[in-house]
Every structure is written in structure tokens, then in C-alpha cells.
Amino acid sequence: MKNNFSLFVVVIFFSFCFVIFYKGLNAPNNYTPNVNGKKNIPTFNAKDFYSNNYINSDKIFEDNIFYIINIWASWCVPCRTEHPLLMQLSKNESIKLIGLNYRDNFNNAKKFIDDFGNPYSRILIDNNGTLGVEFGAYGVPETFLIDKNKNIIKKFVGPINQEIINEIKLIIK
Amino acid sequence: MKVLKIFVILILVTSFSDLESDEKNDVLKNKILKNIRCLICQGQSVYDSESEFASSIKLIVDRKINDGLKEKQIYKFLREKYGDWVIFDPQLNKNTYVLWLLPLLLFLFGGAIIFKKLNNQK
């Protein structure tokens, strides 16, 4: 009876360890961002790309519509692939696109916009990447969908594709 | 002359206290940076990393310390942005109960077995 109980305890213990290690080894060991969590937009002051004046976030998101924050840079190759899709999305009147120019050279960024078109209603400068951190970004390109209540409701890491554009269109409908 | 001496002493005292507070801030900053995981070059702390992400985090931490935020408030800010993963030293919460309590439970379990064995031998 006593031996059976000891055996039972040992089996339970090893099964428990097995489950813990199995789950642990299967879990990804790199950073996987939470892309669906609802967050408030941060409050910040940022420099406008064209006027060079500082603008407060309250003024940037003052309209009662959906917003997209797109982090981009002229040196970022995937940004070029997603740019035509952003141009397509900018034609939709129920959403405004805000560009966050990340660690870029002004002339290169301006040339990028002149060459490929400007889908953004406003472009902000993020020379040192700190504005990106306020949004929880860790690279380029990253895109954030902001609802009418000024909450970040979706985050897309990497270049957006047609599937994502369709998803965004469905949400803002 | 006396007034001048007092003036010089006052300047020295205030400049030393400034240096001391800068030094304290640097120690705190390095402590925090060593406890933040670089999300680009994983396995490295932000303190060790030279990535663009790490340099942005270094600036943010510096700014937050100068704004008067405490160590825990800075960790809270980063955890809100990037989740628990960004901090090397995990906090006790519903996701880490097993991590924190399992060693303690195993210790108590092992201790109980040893205690029982010793009692049986007597």
C-alpha cells in the first residue's frame, strides 16, 4: 500500500515535470509581440516632417475616425513593398494614415515620398527611435490600427500585404 | 574676501552634490539596462547591445530617470509596451506562479521526505 502510494507520487511528479518541460521547449524562445491587445495611444510631442514644428498627439488624432500609424524609413526595403498598398488604403476616406519616419535622413525620406507617392496625411519624425518605443515598436516596418476611441486595436509587425489591407478595411467598415 | 571664500565653498559643495546625483543616476541606469532584454539581438541585455532598438531604449531609460521615475515605474512602462519578456528578472504574476513557487514546493517536499526518513531511523 505504502509502496503503491510512493509510486503514485513519483509518477505524478515526473508527469508534472514532463508537461512543464514539454510546454517550455515548445514555446517560442524569441520575442513574439502581442498584436491584438487593446492599448491607449501614448501622449507625445513629435516634429512634423515638412514644417519642422512640434505637434502634440491630441492634435494629430483629433478627428473622430480610424487612424493608421505606419513606421517606415527610406532605407527599409520591406517598406517599399508595402508602399503601394498604403497608397491604395489612403484613398479610403474613413481612415487617415500617419507616417512615422524612423531613424532616417530627411533628403532620402523626401526622395522616397516624391518617388513613390505620399499616402500619409501627416508625417512625423522619429530620429532616435524613442517615439517608436512609445508605441511598442521594435523595428521597421510596423503598422498600428487606432480606433475612434483612440485605442491601438491592432499591430502588424513587418510589411503589410493585401490580406492585412482587407482585414483593416473590414474593421473600419 | 570672506564672502568670496564662502561663495567658492558653496559652489564646490553644490557641484559635488550634482556629480554625486549624476553618478547615482548612472548606477541606476546601468542596473536597469542590464535587466532589459534586447528584442533584436536576443540573449543580450540592452546594456550590452549596440542595436538601434537598444540605443532607443537607452535614451528612453535616461529620459525617464531624469523625469524622476523610479526603477519599478520604468519596468512597468516597458512591460506595458513589450510584455513581461522584455525584463530579464520576471515579476510574480499569474504567468510566473509556477516559476517562482515550484522550487519552493520541491524544497518543502524534499525536506519532508528527509525529515520522515530521519524520524523513521530513530
Q: So where are chain B's domains?
A: 2-91, 92-122
ipTM above 0.90, yes or no: no
Three cell numbers, residue A120: 500619409
Distance separating the N- and C-terminal Cα atoms of chain B: 85
- The domain defined by B2-91 folds into Helicase, Ruva Protein; domain 3 (1.10.8)
Q: What is the pLDDT of residue A125?
A: 96
- pLDDT-based confidence at B19, cuts 50/70/90? low
Distance CA A63, CA A65 (A): 6
Q: Is-contact A164 A146, C-beta < 8 A?
A: no
Contacts of B20 (CB under 8 A, 6+ apart): none
Q: What is the pLDDT of residue A96?
A: 95
A36-61 per-position pLDDT tens digit: 778 888 999 999 999 999 999 999 99
Per-window interface: A 95-114 vs B, CB < 8 A: 103
Residue B16 has pLDDT above 90, yes or no: no
- Hey, which residues does A156 pair with through a beta bridge? A143
Nearest CA in chain B to A131: B56
Q: Which of A30, A136, A139 sits opposite B81 (nearest CB)?
A: A136
Task: Check if A84 contacts B (Cβ < 8 Å).
Answer: no
**CATH superfamily, region A39-172:** Glutaredoxin (3.40.30.10)
Q: What is the pLDDT of residue A170?
A: 93
- How many A×B Cβ pairs under 8 Å? 44
Contacts of B10 (CB under 8 A, 6+ apart): none
Q: Is-contact A132 A141, C-beta < 8 A?
A: no
Say what percent of chain A tops pLDDT 90: 72
Strand order in the sheet with A122-126: A39-40, A151-157, A142-146, A66-72, A95-102, A122-126, A45-48, A54-56
Mean pLDDT of chain B: 86
Residue B12 has pLDDT above 70, yes or no: no
